């Protein structure tokens, strides 16, 4: 729940099939698109070459990627954050000030701008200490939210989800053995897992020894299951990348060599 970043960490792959659909509809490629797809093809192969070993092609692609992605982040931050949230707010604050209305929520962004500048004081000798002020502000936000959001989104929700009846009845009022066992396993699993995380007790004896041992078993099964479950998604990614060659590259090859 803690807002981690303004950037979306999942990558949006601009649709292969979008391209294929356009081709289907009898679209002609522009020179830019032809060049673009060839570049994309080359870069794809460059990155894949790393699987064999580090080489000049990968080094080229890697350095280009770091440069381009850093540039990408800077440009989007400027356009999506600095422009609307800093310049935009201050401007609208000043405009309403000129109309005699003091909109504090807009004008307060001057303070944010000042803190941003203080952070840059790090570059000025003997003024570096000033950069800790905005940093402390950021850490303060993190820790304040860290307490309340974690409580709300994790602790209470997870406890709530773990509260299950230990005897499950079916509609006909007999005991549903499958669900009852499942509930027991979940409750014991969560409890033993938590006991595994005990720091102030040696993992010995009946309670802490056995339970923490069960705890580690449950954790390991959870890891195994999650691992196995993720394999499918990861293979899909590779399939998606292979479809790039079919849906984007191949039509462009045809267009390039006119066949």
Partner 1 sequence: MKIRKSVFLFAVAILTVLFCLCAQKAYAGKNWSDQAFSEKEGIAVVGNEDKYEAVYGISIPEKKVIWKVGMPKSHSVHIEIDGDMVILVALEDAGFSKNVKVVDLKTGKVKWEEKIPSAARKTEVFKDQDTIYFGVDQDYRDVMKAKVYAFNKTSGAKKWTPYEAMGNIKGMVPTQNGDFILILEKTSQAKGNKPAEKSIELVKIDKNTGKDVWVVPVKGTFASIPTEHESVVYFVTQNIETVKGSDGKETVNIVRSFQAVSSENGQILSTFVFADKDKPYGDPVYAAGNPVVVTEQGKAICFESKPSDPNKPVKWEVDLGAAPQSNILVQDQLAYIPTMKLDGENKVYSVVCLDTASGQQKWTNKVDGVPELPLIVAKDTVILATRITQGEGKGQTFQFKLQGINPLDGKEKWNGIADGKLENPLFLKDNMLFVMLAAKKGSKTVHIISMYDITTGAAKWAYETESVINTKLFVDEDSADFGTKDGFVVSVGIADGKELYKYNAKSELDTTIAASDKNLGFATQEGEYIIINDKGVVEKEMNLKPWFDMKKISILLGCLVLSAALSWYIYHARKGKEMFVRKIAGLQAIDEAVGRSTEMGKPVLYITGLADVDDIQTLASLSILGHIAQKTAEYDTPLVVPCCRSVVMSTAQEVVKESYLKAGRPDTYRSENIHYLTDDQFGYVAGVDGIMVREKPAANFYMGKFYAESLILAETGHSTGAIQIAGTAEAAQLPFFVAACDYTLIGEELFAASAYLSKDAQQIGSLKGQDMAKAIILAVVAAGCLLLTFEMHWVKLLFATQ
Partner 2 sequence: MTVFDKIKNLDRRWIFLFILISVIIPLLIPLNLKLNTSKPVEDIYSYMNSLPEGSVILMSFDYSPSTEIELNPAAIAIVRHAFQKKLKVVALALWPMGASMSQNVLTPLAKEYNKEYGKDYVNLGYKAGGSVLLISMNNGFATEFPTDINGTAVTDLPLMNQVKDYKSCALVVSLSAGVPGMKEYVQIVATRFGSKVAAACTAVSAPEMYTFLNSGQLLGLMGGLKGAAEYEKMIDYNGDARKGMDAQSVVHLVIVLFILFSNVVYFVDEYRKKTAE
Partner 3 sequence: MRREIPMAITTLTGLIMIIVFFVPRWEDWSDIFLKWFTVIAGFALVLGAGSLLLVNLNKISRKASGWGYNVVLIIGLLATAGSGIIQGIGPGTMFDFIFVYFFTPLSATMFSLLAFYIASAAFRAFKAKSLEAGLLLVTAFIVMLGRVPIGEMMWNALPFAQSIPLTEIIEKWIMGCFNTAGQRAIMLGASIGIISVSLKILLGIERSYLGGGD
- Build a one-symbol-per-residue string for 65-94: x at contacts with partner 1 by CB under 8 A, - elsewhere: xx-xxx-xx---------------------
Q: For partner 3, which is the closer residue by CB, 151 or 259?
A: 151
Q: Considering only residues 111, 182, 240, 254, which one is a binding residue for partner 2 as defined by CB under 8 A? A: 240
Selected from 18, 35, 95, 145, the binder of partner 1 by CB under 8 A is 145
* 36/209 with CB nearer partner 1: 209
Q: Which residue has the tokens 């307490």?
A: 147
DSSP track, 196-234: HT-SSS-S-IIIIIIHHHHHHHHHHHHHHHHHHHHHHHH
Q: Which three-class secondary structure state does DSSP give residue 52?
A: coil
Binding to partner 3 (CB under 8 A): which residues in 105-164?
105, 108-109, 111-113, 115-117, 119-120, 122-123, 128-129, 132-148, 150-151, 154-155, 158-159, 161-162
Binding test (CB under 8 A) with partner 3, winner from 234, 257, 258, 259: 234
Measured torsion, CA atoms of residues 43, 44, 46, 51, in degrees rounded to the nearest 10: 160
The footprint of partner 2 on residues 6-45 (CB under 8 A) is: 10-18, 21, 24-25
102: phi then psi, degrees, rounded to nearest 5: -95, 100
- Give me the helices (H) in 104-176, please: 104-107, 109-120, 132-149, 157-162
Task: Work out what residue 175 binds among partner 1, partner 3, partner 2, none; the CB cut-off runs from 5 to 8 Å by kind.
Answer: none
Choice between 253 and 259, CB closer to partner 3? 253
Closest separation in Å from C-beta 114 to partner 2: 34
Give φ, ψ of 169 to 5 degrees: -105, 145
Cα–Cα distance measured from residue 15 to residue 230, given in angstroms and rounded to the nearest whole number: 22
């Amino acid at each position: 729940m803690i807002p981690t970043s303004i950037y979306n960490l999942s990558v949006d792959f601009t649709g292969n099939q979008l391209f294929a659909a356009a081709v289907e509809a009898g679209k002609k490629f522009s020179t830019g698109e032809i060049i673009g797809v060839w570049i994309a093809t080359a870069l794809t192969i460059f990155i894949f070459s790393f699987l064999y070993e580090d080489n000049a092609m990968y080094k080229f692609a890697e350095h280009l990627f770091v440069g381009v992605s850093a540039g990408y982040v800077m440009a989007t931050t400027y356009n999506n954050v600095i422009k609307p949230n800093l310049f935009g707010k201050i401007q609208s604050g000043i405009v309403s000030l000129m109309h005699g209305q003091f909109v504090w929520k807009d004008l307060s962004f001057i303070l944010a701008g000042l803190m941003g500048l203080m952070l840059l004081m790090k570059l000025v000798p003997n003024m570096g200490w000033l950069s800790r002020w905005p940093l402390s502000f950021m850490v303060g936000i993190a820790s304040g939210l860290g307490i309340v959001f974690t409580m709300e989104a994790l602790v209470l929700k997870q406890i709530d989800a773990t509260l299950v009846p230990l005897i499950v009845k079916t509609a006909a009022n007999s005991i549903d053995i499958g669900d009852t066992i499942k509930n027991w396993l979940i409750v014991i699993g969560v409890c033993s897992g938590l006991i595994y995380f005990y720091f102030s007790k040696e993992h010995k004896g009946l309670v802490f020894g056995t339970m923490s041992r069960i705890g580690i078993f449950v954790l390991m099964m959870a890891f195994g299951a999650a691992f196995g479950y993720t394999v499918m998604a990861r293979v899909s990614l590779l399939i998606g990348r292979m479809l790039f060659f079919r849906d984007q590259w191949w039509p462009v090859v045809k267009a390039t060599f006119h066949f």
